[in-house]
Amino acid sequence: RIRRRELECRYDIDDMTPLFLAIYRSLIPAEEEKEKQKQLLVSLRKLVNKEWPDAELHLYGSCANSFDVSNSDIDICLAIDDSKMSKSEILLKLADILESDNLQNVQALTRARVPIVKMMDPVTGISCDICINNLLAVANTKLLRDYAQIDERLRQLAFIVKHWAKSRGVNETYRGTLSSYAYVLMCIHFLQQRKPAILPCLQEMEATYLANVDGVQCAYFDQVDRIRHFGAQNNESIARLLWGFFHYWAYCHDYANDVISVRAGRNISKQLKDWTRRIGNDRHLICIEDPFETSHDLGRVVDKYSIKILREEFERAADVLQYDSNPSVTLFEPYVP
């Protein structure tokens, strides 16, 4: 039922840690880039508040959850009382405002699954997507950022996994592979399962953060500076964890029966969630439960073709780390069809 391989890793996997740490550091955005993002946000706030004095702009996604690599686009959420205008009307109005302030390539995508306005700021060169009232995304951004502060190995692992996924062409939801958000959840889940655990399950702990967001209860322990030593009992290196991550998804995960759940801090059964068969477009071939919108499977974009590609890529990555003489290069070799 579950394919397993030798659990033995190359004897020198830990020696690869400095190389992977160097890759991780090279991906971190420079301070000045973060500064430019903040400036852009300040000027956008001024602009938006001229039209809507009570509206708020929140950063979300990787630029706010600490999993952003350099030159990322930024994601912004406009929080606005929309009882007077429809979402589309707000987006079109917003596009007008941005255009008349000389922002470039302004486009309102009112029919997208998540409707947004896209634009580029010619002063900083930063591209950004603005959505309306997507406050659950703002809440899950905070959850990811809080997890990242507990143990630095999460950020290291997720950066390298994201970099791998982008290089190998498996970070494209429109083609049936997984979002960056899904990969970060897979990393958190993996670190929750280590023995001893490297990350706790914040949603199973005493709730110090409580919010009702669009009818969804978001509750978890967010005083993360009090648990910075949580993973100290486990001294696995980043190279070993990286190999373990791919090995888990290649040879150990039970795709037929399990759902990974960061909320529960463990695998739960597909049966329990009634995710055992295709319903509409949701195929549930790899199941990743959203930590707050628990009826939402982030793997639902994966179809019978892309699941094969994904699993072959997990196997390739695990094997590269286990056998290749130059894994820090081979792992990220661009995929050429």
* Site residues for ligand ATP per CB under 6 A: 60-62, 65, 67-68, 72, 75, 137, 140-141, 179-181, 290, 296, 298
Task: Report in angstroms how near the CB of residue 289 gets to ligand ATP at its nearest.
Answer: 11
Task: Report in angstroms how near the CB of residue 199 gets to Mg ion at its nearest.
Answer: 22
Task: Report in angstroms how near the CB of residue 134 gets to ligand ATP at its nearest.
Answer: 7
For the stretch 208-215, contacts whose Cβ atoms lie closer than 8 Å and that sit 24 or more positions apart, written own/partner, are: 209/142, 211/139, 213/135, 213/136, 213/138, 213/139, 213/292, 214/135, 214/136
179, interface contact from ligand ATP, Mg ion, none, CB < 5-8 Å by kind: ligand ATP
Q: Which of 129, 107, 127, 7 is nearest to 57 (CA)?
A: 129
Quote the CA–CA distance of 139 and 79 in Å, as a whole number: 13
Task: List binders of Mg ion among 72-111 (CB under 5 A).
Answer: 75
**CA separation (Å) from 103 to 53, 108, 144, 231, 329?**
21, 13, 30, 45, 39
Q: Which stretch binds Mg ion (CB under 5 A): 53-61, 132-140, 198-206, 326-334?
A: 53-61
61 near Mg ion, rule: CB under 5 A? yes
Indicate the residue among 151 and 290 with the shorter CB distance to ligand ATP. 290
Indicate the residue among 282 and 324 with the shorter CB distance to ligand ATP. 282
137, interface contact from ligand ATP, Mg ion, none, CB < 5-8 Å by kind: ligand ATP
242 φ, ψ (degrees, to nearest 5):
-60, -45
Pairing of strands 104-109, 116-120: antiparallel
265 near Mg ion, rule: CB under 5 A? no
167, interface contact from ligand ATP, Mg ion, none, CB < 5-8 Å by kind: none
Task: Report in angstroms how near the CB of residue 72 gets to Mg ion at its nearest.
Answer: 6
- Residue pair 226/241 in contact (Cβ under 8 Å)? The answer is no
Indicate the residue among 156 and 180 with the shorter CB distance to ligand ATP. 180
Task: Report in angstroms how near the CB of residue 174 gets to ligand ATP at its nearest.
Answer: 12
222, interface contact from ligand ATP, Mg ion, none, CB < 5-8 Å by kind: none
290, interface contact from ligand ATP, Mg ion, none, CB < 5-8 Å by kind: ligand ATP
193, interface contact from Mg ion, ligand ATP, none, CB < 5-8 Å by kind: none
169: alpha, beta or left? (left if phi > 0; alpha if psi -120 to 50): left
Q: Can you name the residues that pair with 266 across neighbouring β-strands?
A: 261
Q: End-to-end distance of the chain based on CA atoms, in angstroms?
A: 30
The 10 Å Cβ neighbour count of residue 307 is 17
Quote the CA–CA distance of 110 and 150 in Å, as a whole number: 38
Task: Report in angstroms how near the CB of residue 217 gets to ligand ATP at its nearest.
Answer: 16
Q: Which stretch binds Mg ion (CB under 5 A): 20-28, 70-78, 94-102, 271-279?
A: 70-78
- Residue pair 77/142 in contact (Cβ under 8 Å)? The answer is no
Give the residue carrying structure tokens 């951004």: 141
Q: Which residues bind Mg ion (CB under 5 A)?
A: 61-62, 75
